[in-house]
């Protein structure tokens, strides 16, 4: 990519850490997020095919410690520890990521890097671990860079972290901020960008300030399609152009619904996006059916409960069978009883994750 932020980050990149600095450390806790308008389809360099909008969670997060030290060799050495042990698949992804961003952080090339990471939520639970882990790592690396004398301290720190997180995983770009966050250029909204995410600038309506997400684990099995494969399915998808147009319209309407406290439109758009994501997978070549019978039962129970009780609750889905039940905090009592009495029976070993909207990442003491 030429010009713009790419050039700015190249221009300010730093070849070496001054020897006197010894060891540099950072630690971040970064939450996952759940998309309401889905990112599904991308162009080279992690540029999204359409804008997406999510909210950042609280309890489902990754904590990542990064330690960087100069060493005698010119080669980078990486030690990656996930939840106390080695994980080759994750290590390969992290090592590829560090290679990708080395043009922006050339000082990392001659260093020993130790990364330790842990998640608060189980793998394959329907919570995007790449969003929390890649944002935690990008924030950690940007923080290390910020400690080097002469670096700008705070100006645009999060914008840069979001840009770098995007290069690791698209959805991670959004986890750098709390609350509602969009990523991808939106027509008429000059501050939005394909290269980094931006938090919703306006105040959300009162129903949306305490939004909760109950993640119902229908099946803990590993997904049969990875996100990268899934995005690639959109390259030749017969409905791609219609989908990108729909997402651009949905995001504008959803944004208005959130600001105007319009729960009805919010529910309609969130569920339309969930069905569309799976509709796209079912109509791609090859096709993927990730929904389980239990998923469909839960979705129809949610719709029926909404009708019967007049409670504003919505579902959304990720690229898997698990259901995210989204509801305003003031309905919590009734929704918890509904989950306990009617939905847990459909969940694998009655598992679910109780989460809610959060304030975004936090830097931890090292
Ligand atoms: C269905 O961000 O995981 O969760 O950029 O290839 O890492 P990569 O993909 P990823 O895709 C997320 C897809 C989604 C929708 C969303 O979060 O917007």
Cβ-in-10-Å burial (0-12, 13-18, 19+) of 252 comes to: middle
Distance of alpha carbon 108 from alpha carbon 260, whole angstroms: 46
More confident residue, 123 or 317: 317
pLDDT at 22: 85
Expressed in angstroms and rounded, the spacing between residue 365 Cα and the centre of ligand 1 is 30
| Strand pairing category for 47-48 and 42-43 | antiparallel
**Residue whose CA lies nearest to ligand 1 atom number 3:** 227
pLDDT at 177 over 80: yes
pLDDT digits (tens, 9 = 90+) for 100-122: 999 999 989 889 999 999 999 88
Expressed in angstroms and rounded, the spacing between residue 67 Cα and the centre of ligand 1 is 28
Mean pLDDT within 358-362: 98
pLDDT at 123: 74
- Considering the chain, what percentage of its residues have pLDDT values greater than 90? 84
Contact between 50 and 352 under an 8 Å Cβ cutoff? The reply is: no
Three-state DSSP at 287 gives coil
Expressed in angstroms and rounded, the spacing between residue 133 Cα and the centre of ligand 1 is 13
Q: Is ligand 1 within 6 A of the CB of residue 39? A: yes
Q: Is ligand 1 within 6 A of the CB of residue 175? A: no
Could you tell me where the DSSP H helices lie in 260-331? 263-282, 293-309
Three-state DSSP at 121 gives coil
Place of tokens 């020897």: 19
Distance of alpha carbon 194 from alpha carbon 173, whole angstroms: 10
The ligand 1 atom nearest the CA atom of 130: 3
Expressed in angstroms and rounded, the spacing between residue 143 Cα and the centre of ligand 1 is 25
Mean pLDDT within 215-221: 93
pLDDT at 68: 95
Confidence of residue 224 (pLDDT cuts 50, 70, 90): confident
Contact between 322 and 32 under an 8 Å Cβ cutoff? The reply is: no
Q: Is ligand 1 within 6 A of the CB of residue 52? A: yes
pLDDT digits (tens, 9 = 90+) for 124-172: 667 789 999 999 999 999 999 999 877 766 669 999 999 999 999 999 9
Contact between 65 and 366 under an 8 Å Cβ cutoff? The reply is: yes
pLDDT at 154: 65
Q: Is ligand 1 within 6 A of the CB of residue 170? A: yes
pLDDT at 236: 96
pLDDT at 214 over 80: yes
**Residue whose CA lies nearest to ligand 1 atom number 4:** 318
Q: Three-class SS string for 173-200? A: HHHHCCCEEEECCECCECCCCCCCEEEC
The ligand 1 atom nearest the CA atom of 319: 1
The ligand 1 atom nearest the CA atom of 52: 18
Expressed in angstroms and rounded, the spacing between residue 230 Cα and the centre of ligand 1 is 9
pLDDT at 322: 95
pLDDT at 199 over 60: yes
Expressed in angstroms and rounded, the spacing between residue 170 Cα and the centre of ligand 1 is 6
Could you tell me where the DSSP H helices lie in 104-212? 129-146, 157-168
Confidence of residue 70 (pLDDT cuts 50, 70, 90): confident
Expressed in angstroms and rounded, the spacing between residue 39 Cα and the centre of ligand 1 is 6
Q: Is ligand 1 within 6 A of the CB of residue 143? A: no
Name the nearest CA neighbour of 112 among 72, 64, 55, 54.
72
The ligand 1 atom nearest the CA atom of 170: 5
More confident residue, 136 or 187: 136
pLDDT at 16 over 70: yes
The ligand 1 atom nearest the CA atom of 46: 5
Expressed in angstroms and rounded, the spacing between residue 16 Cα and the centre of ligand 1 is 33
Confidence of residue 65 (pLDDT cuts 50, 70, 90): very high
Q: Which two tokens stand for residue 317?
A: 């889905």
pLDDT at 34 over 60: yes
Distance of alpha carbon 38 from alpha carbon 15, whole angstroms: 38
The ligand 1 atom nearest the CA atom of 134: 7
pLDDT at 75: 83
pLDDT at 49 over 80: yes
The ligand 1 atom nearest the CA atom of 166: 5
The mean predicted confidence, pLDDT, of the chain is 94
Name the nearest CA neighbour of 212 among 356, 325, 352.
356
pLDDT at 213 over 70: yes
Task: Supply angle C-alpha 129, 134, 140, rounded to 5.
Answer: 130
Cβ-in-10-Å burial (0-12, 13-18, 19+) of 114 comes to: middle
pLDDT digits (tens, 9 = 90+) for 255-267: 999 999 999 999 9
Least confident of 47-51, 127-131, 288-292, 293-297: 127-131
pLDDT at 72: 74
């Amino acid at each position: 990519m030429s010009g713009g932020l790419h050039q700015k980050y190249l221009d300010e990149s730093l070849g070496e850490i001054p020897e006197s600095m010894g060891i540099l450390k950072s630690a971040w806790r970064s939450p996952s997020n759940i998309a309401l308008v889905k990112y599904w389809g991308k162009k080279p360099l992690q540029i999204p095919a359409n804008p997406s909008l999510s909210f950042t969670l609280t309890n489902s997060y990754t904590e990542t410690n990064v330690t960087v030290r100069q060493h005698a060799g010119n080669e980078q050495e990486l030690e990656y520890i996930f939840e106390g042990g080695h994980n080759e698949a994750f290590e390969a992804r992290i090592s590829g990521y560090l290679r990708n961003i080395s043009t922006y952080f050339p000082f990392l090339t001659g260093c020993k890097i130790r990364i330790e990471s842990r998640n608060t939520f189980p793998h394959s639970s329907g919570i995007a671990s790449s969003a929390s882990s890649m944002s935690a790592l990008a924030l950690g690396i940007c923080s290390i860079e910020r400690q080097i004398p002469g670096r700008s301290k705070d100006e645009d720190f999060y914008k840069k972290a979001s840009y770098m997180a995007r290069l690791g995983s698209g959805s991670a770009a959004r986890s750098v901020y709390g609350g509602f966050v969009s990523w991808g250029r939106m027509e008429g909204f000059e501050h939005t960008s394909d290269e980094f995410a931006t938090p919703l600038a306006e105040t959300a309506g009162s129903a949306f300030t305490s939004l909760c997400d109950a993640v119902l684990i229908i099946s803990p099995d590993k997904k049969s399609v990875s996100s990268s494969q899934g995005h690639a399915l959109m390259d030749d998808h017969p409905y791609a152009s219609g989908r990108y147009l729909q997402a651009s319209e949905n995001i504008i309407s959803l944004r208005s619904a959130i600001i105007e406290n319009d729960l009805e439109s919010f529910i309609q758009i969130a569920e339309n996006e969930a069905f569309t994501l799976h509709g796209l997978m079912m109509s791609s070549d090859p096709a993927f059916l990730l929904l389980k019978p239990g998923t469909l039962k839960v979705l129809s129970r949610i719709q029926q409960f909404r009708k019967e009780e007049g409670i504003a609750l919505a579902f959304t889905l990720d690229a898997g069978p698990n259901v995210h039940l989204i509801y305003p905090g003031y309905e919590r009592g009734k929704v918890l009883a509904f989950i306990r009495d009617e939905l847990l029976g459909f969940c694998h070993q009655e598992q679910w994750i109780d989460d809610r909207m959060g304030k975004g990442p936090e830097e931890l003491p090292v």
